[in-house]
Amino acid sequence: MNKSNHLILVTGGVRSGKSRWAEALAKQMGGPVAYIATSQVEDHEMAERVRRHKERRPANWTTLEAPWDLAEAIRHLPQDTKTVLIDCLGVFVSNLMLKIAGDSDPTLPKVETEVLGAIWSFLQAQATMPGTVIVVTNETGLGVVPPSALGRAFRDYLGWANQIVAAAADTVYLTVAGIPLLIKGGVASAASEASPSPYETVKQNRASWTVIPGGNQHDK
C-alpha cells in the first residue's frame, strides 16, 4: 500500500462469504486489529449469529460495539490500532433509521438526512485514522421490491450509503458464492500477496457447513 490510510469495502448478498473474506483480509493486514460490531442482540437468531462471528475472530482482536455512531467509535479506537473491521454497514443503517424514525414515517426527509449524514461523519473520522479500515455491507437491491415502506426505505438508504462509501474507498470487493471479486482498486492496493486467495476463503466456508437431514447445507 502506498499510503498509511486505506479504506476497503466488501459487499455482497446474504451468505455470500463477505464477512469471512473481510476477516481474512484483516488477519493478513496485521494488527493490532479492532472489530467494530454494529449489531444488537435482541433475539435468539441474532445471538446465534453473534456467537458464530465471535468464534471465528482471533482472541487478541479488540471488540467495540457501535450500533448508532461509527464516527465516535473510530475516534475512540486504541491508539495502536492498525486495522479496523466494521461488520456491518447494513445493520448500522437499519439501527439508525429505526432510532431516528421511531413510530413516524421512515421516508421522511429528516431520516434520510441524518442516516446519510452519519455515513459522511464516519468517512471524515476514518480519513484521520492512520491505518486500514475494512467495511462489510450488504447488497439489498438485487431482489424483489420490498412490500413495506419501511423495507423500501431501508433498501434505498443502504444503497445510497453503499455508493457513498464505495466512492470514497480505495478498494471494493463484491463477494459472490464465496468468491471475492475485485471491482475497484489496483493490484498493488488490494490483490497483493498479503490478501488471502479466493480458494482459501471458499475452503473455510465449506469447513463451516453442516448437513441437515432432509434439508440443504447451511453456513454455521
| Active-site residue set | 53
* Edge-to-edge strand list for the sheet holding 132-136: 62-65, 33-37, 83-87, 132-136, 6-12, 171-176, 179-184
Q: Are 63 and 37 in contact (CB under 8 A)?
A: yes
User: Of 200, 192, 205, which is closest to residue 8 (Cα–Cα)?
Assistant: 192
Task: Please give the span between the terminal C-alpha atoms of the chain, in angstroms, as a whole number.
Answer: 34
3-class secondary-structure state, position 131: coil
Half-sphere exposure of residue 114, counting CA atoms within 13 Å on the CB side? 17
**Type of residue numbered 175:** T
3-class secondary-structure state, position 88: coil
Q: Which residues pair with 165 in a beta bridge?
A: none
Residue 47, all three cell numbers:
445471538
Instruction: Let me know if 102 is exposed, middle or buried by CB neighbors in 10 A (0-12, 13-18, 19+).
Output: exposed
Q: Cα separations (Å) of 29 from 38, 121, 126, 215?
A: 21, 25, 17, 38
